[in-house]
Structure 1
Amino acid sequence: MGTMVSVLLSLLLLLGPAVPQETQAGSYRLSFLYTGVSRPTDSLPSFQATAYLNDQVFFHYDNKSRKAIPLDPWSQMEGIEDWEKESELQQARESIFMETLQDIMDYYKDREGSHTFQGRFGCELLNNKSSGAFWKYAYDGQNFIEFNREIPGWVPQDPAALNTKRKWEAEEVYVQRAKAYLEEECPAMLRRYLQYGKAFLDRQDPPSMSITRTPGEDTIKCWASDFYPQDIDLHWIQGGNTVETEVRGDLLPSGNGTYLSWVSLTVSPWRTKNTVFCRIVHSSLDQPLTGL
């Protein structure tokens, strides 16, 4: 058991999961998301891991390729990471992660069902100083276990997690190493990655605007495309005021590191006589974009 836990924590000290989200100016995040499923499909591998720098995918690994594959522009940055070593670590991490999923299914005596185990952790820097970290797991969409740096220790949030806690805390050194990862090692890794990719994360890509109307429908849409960072404000203006009845679309990735979003408006006879404009505000723009 000691060997298994040692491998688990040594890998988690180097790798981990997290969900990308908006960062404020001067802040950066290194985060990881791991997912294991008991019933994989052609489109959903049994295990996959994705690393992020802020909201941008850094590398991806799954049990089919068994390689940590960096995405552009990181794949073009020589020396940012030893990808062969990273792949080996992910392969070992896959084994431990899926073993934990099976342990949970054994606890609930359900090896035949369809189940999902997810883990995520990471750290943040604000003005080059550590400003936060997290490390948590979920089983079938419910909180399972989380690391608390203040205790320090693993806090079970599911009955089966008591067994996981005992395994992961078999020796005190494992807990201290987990704490050291969140507070020291992860921020150090993030600082190193920023030496290569800070300019890419700090870039400002201005949005382009387009306005569409579907034939036969009484709505018009204003699109903002190809912008970065993701924080944006777009709305319809009439008579100098924001129109309150507009419908906003989701913020969506464009697939090239930028985002797109939209806002729609129902066109009534009253509005056709009172001109409406779309207005887009973004940090990359000196002046808002306005279009009809």
Structure 2
Amino acid sequence: MKKMEFVFLLIFFPVTLSVKHSVKFFLTVSSGVKNIPDFVVVGLIDEVPVGHCDSIEKKVEATQDWAKKLMEDYPEHLQWYTQECLISPHKYKAAIDMLKNQLNQTGDVHILQRMDGCEWDSETREINGFAQYGYNGEDFLVFDLETLTWIAQKPEAVIIKHSWDKDTPDIEVWKHFLTQRCPEFLKTYMDVGKSFLLRTELPSVSLLQKTPSSPVSCFATGFYPDRADMFWRKDGEELHEDVELGEILPNHDGSFQMSVDLNLSSVTPEDWRRYECVFHLSGVKDDIITKLDKAVIKTNCVPPSEFPAGPVIGGVVGLLLLAVCITGVFIWRRRKNGFKPANCFRLIIH
């Protein structure tokens, strides 16, 4: 397509970016893991944690001011969440025992996780519900809302799939929740929390480096929403080699953070000026550009209060991050394919 034709299309047929809003629930039940709650559920709106409950406190707590107000204005929501928080631990602990028996498993440590909720597309107005389970850190079962059946993600899950497919009352419960209750929740939350959820905030951007030989990390924190991109470029061209992009992670105040590392081991000092970090927030015209300059790089030599010691830390400031590293225990990681094994089991609770 010629350049003028492309410009014509942009002017008379502008591209409308689709924005999706979501409500998600992350549930984790553990067996044989000491010194942590064996049941934790966290609710997220647009990827921001807004409430949680666990088997120790046994009560629902909102973590954002607008969510606290929602619980006051809509007590039926608090009642529903409280009921789920009290009933679910017993149900899912029994589910782990059932899985161990049906799969002929031994050993004390097992993790069952569930992620469910719905997404709303602001352009198409389409709402999609979803639910899936993970077991011991791997994808296990996914609910197909079109066929109202469970899809086994590994051979061991087939026997469970057949059993759950026959449970018609439970299938109807899932159908009702994903197609009616969850969308109603999301509509209410978007209305009550619109001043918070529909805002735009730019981040502060810093250059960080642990040691003189470490990669330089371009770290952005405090931005909202999470529809952002970040990259290094040289002489105006985006780099793909010697670059490592981190995940977008939530901060305690509902904003987000991300980082992108640049390996400078093969770059001479005189060439540093040719590099720059670019942060782009969806819907914002101007990018934030940070030139690679040794004079502005923060290192471990500065006081801890001035140095965010890595992207994970900022994501849990203000929340108690209960972390117990155990071999064979897994966590839910955000990625397209679902569950990912890790060496450290982390639960975010208040």
- How does the TM-score come out when normalised to structure 1? 0.78
**Using a 3 Å threshold, how does the CA distance of structure 1 residues 111 and 92 change in structure 2: closer, same or farther?**
farther
Q: Is the 8 A contact 2:51 2:64 kept in 1?
A: no
Contact 1:80 1:196 in 2 (8 A): no
Structure 2 residue aligned with 1:257: 254
Give 1:48's aligned amino acid: V
Taking the TM superposition and a 5 Å limit, the aligned residue runs for 1:127-146 are 127=122, 129-146=125-142
Q: Show the counterpart of 2:10.
A: none
Distance 1:247 1:87, change over 3 A: same
Change (3 A) 1:286 1:37: same
For residues 128-169 of structure 1, give each alpha carbon's deviation from its aligned partner in whole angstroms, at most 9, with x where no partner exists: 834311122222233333332233233455546635753673
Counterpart for residue 32 of structure 1: 25
Q: Which is worse superposed, 114-123 or 126-135? A: 126-135
Equivalent in 192, 196, 201 of residue 200 of structure 1:
196
Residue 100 of structure 2 contacts residue 106 of structure 2 at CA under 8 Å; is this kept in 1? yes
Q: Using the alignment, how far apart are the partners of 1:131 and 1:84 within structure 2?
A: 25
Q: 1:290 to 1:204 in 2, by over 3 A?
A: same
* Consecutive aligned runs of 4 or more in structure 1 exceeding 6 Å deviation: none
| CA deviation map 1:206-256 (0-9, x unaligned) | 011223455533754332221112232333343333344442341333332
8 Å contact 2:232–2:243 — kept in the other structure?
Answer: no
Match of 1:120? 115
Structure 1's 215 and 98: CA in aligned 2 closer, same or farther, altered over 3 A? Answer: closer
* 1:231-250 paired onto structure 2 within 5 Å: 231-250=227-246
Q: Cα deviations across residues 37-76 of structure 1 (Å, max 9, x unaligned)?
A: 111222x321111111120112111101111111113124
Letter paired with 2:183: P
Output one character per residue of 1:81-107: Cα deviation in whole Å (capped at 9) or x when no partner.
Answer: 542442222211111111111111122
Is 138-147 or 112-121 further displaced after alignment? Answer: 138-147
1:20-59 correspondence to structure 2 within 5 Å: 25-42=18-35, 44-59=36-51
Amino acid in the other structure paired with 2:87: A
1:276–1:119 CA distance, 2 compared to 1 (3 A):
closer
Do residues 291 (structure 1) and 290 (structure 2) align?
A: yes
How many residues end up aligned between the 2 structures? 266
Equivalent residue for 2:222? 226
**Aligned equivalent of 2:276:** 277
Q: Report the TM-score, using the length of structure 2 for normalisation.
A: 0.66
In structure 2, what is the Cα distance between the partners aligned to 1:230 and 1:150?
Answer: 29
CA–CA separation in structure 2 for the residues paired with 1:130 and 1:47: 32
Change (3 A) 1:168 1:89: farther
- Of residues 70-79 and 233-242 in structure 1, the stretch that sits farther from structure 2 once superposed is 233-242
Counterpart for residue 296 of structure 2: none
Question: Residues 31 and 236 from structure 1, CA distance in 2 versus in 1: closer, same or farther, beyond 3 angstroms?
Answer: closer
Confirm or deny that 1:75 pairs with 2:68.
Answer: yes
Kept in 2: contact 1:211–1:220 (CA 8 A): yes
* SS of aligned partner of 2:108: coil
**1:188 shift after superposition:** 1.6
Matched, 1:65 2:57: yes
Residue 151 of structure 2 contacts residue 161 of structure 2 at CA under 8 Å; is this kept in 1?
Answer: no
User: Which of 86, 91, 106 matches 2:86?
Assistant: 91
Secondary structure of residue in 1 paired with 2:193: helix
What residue number does 1:9 align with? none
Query: Structure 1 residues 86 and 29 mapped into 2: Cα distance closer, same or farther (>3 Å)?
Result: same
Give 5+ residue unaligned stretches, structure 1: 1-23
- String of CA shifts for 1:181-226, please: whole Å, max 9, x gaps: 2222221221122221133221111011223455533754332221
Unaligned runs of 5+ in 2: 1-16, 292-350
* Percentage of matched positions with identical amino acids: 21
* Conserved? CA contact 1:205–1:284, under 8 Å: no
Letter in 1 for 2:73: G
Compared with structure 1, are the counterparts of its residues 28 and 277 closer, same or farther at alpha carbon in structure 2 (3 Å cutoff)? closer
Q: Which residue pairs with 1:108 in the alignment? A: 103
- Tell me the equivalent position of 1:18: none
Residues 102 and 290 (structure 1), Cα distance of their counterparts in 2 relative to 1, 3 Å cut: same
Moved more, 247-256 or 93-102: 247-256
Compared CA separation, residues 189 and 262, structure 1 to 2 (3 A): closer
